[in-house]
């Protein structure tokens, strides 16, 4: 008897997951209606900006480097193909303009705005 109940429960869970997958992937606007719309992207997405005001940027200047920061949108990442935002930092040599080192990518969270 317990085996039968467990089997039926697993069938129900698989059915619900399949239903949610089909609804949220194939029906346009279903995710936005249920969870809200993602906040707007920053205006300077994918553009490197020199950072000399932060403590890290000032430390880089003392080392003879230029710290550059950008927000990068990875179109293939994220939940349900929404894209993923990461903050990238690189350090360039001031004399040769060669990249001296990079910091690991830092994921950025986008809030959902409910309408």
Q: Percent of the chain at pLDDT above 70?
A: 91
The residues facing 49 across adjacent strands are: 69
Please provide the average confidence, as pLDDT, over all residues in the chain. 84
Mean pLDDT of 14-36: 79
Distance CA 68, CA 91 (A): 6
Distance CA 34, CA 114 (A): 9
| Residue 92 pLDDT greater than 90, yes or no | yes
């Amino acid at each position: 008897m317990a085996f039968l109940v467990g089997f039926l429960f697993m069938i129900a869970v698989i059915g619900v997951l399949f239903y949610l997958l089909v609804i949220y992937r194939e029906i346009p606007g279903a995710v936005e209606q249920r969870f809200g719309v993602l906040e707007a992207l920053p205006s300077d997405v994918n553009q490197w900006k020199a950072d000399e005001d932060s403590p890290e940027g000032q430390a880089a200047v003392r080392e003879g480097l230029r710290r550059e920061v950008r927000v990068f949108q990875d179109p293939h990442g994220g939940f349900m193909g929404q894209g993923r935002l990461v903050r990238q930092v690189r350090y360039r040599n001031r004399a040769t303009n060669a990249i001296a080192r990079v910091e690991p990518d830092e994921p950025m969270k986008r809030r959902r705005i409910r309408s």
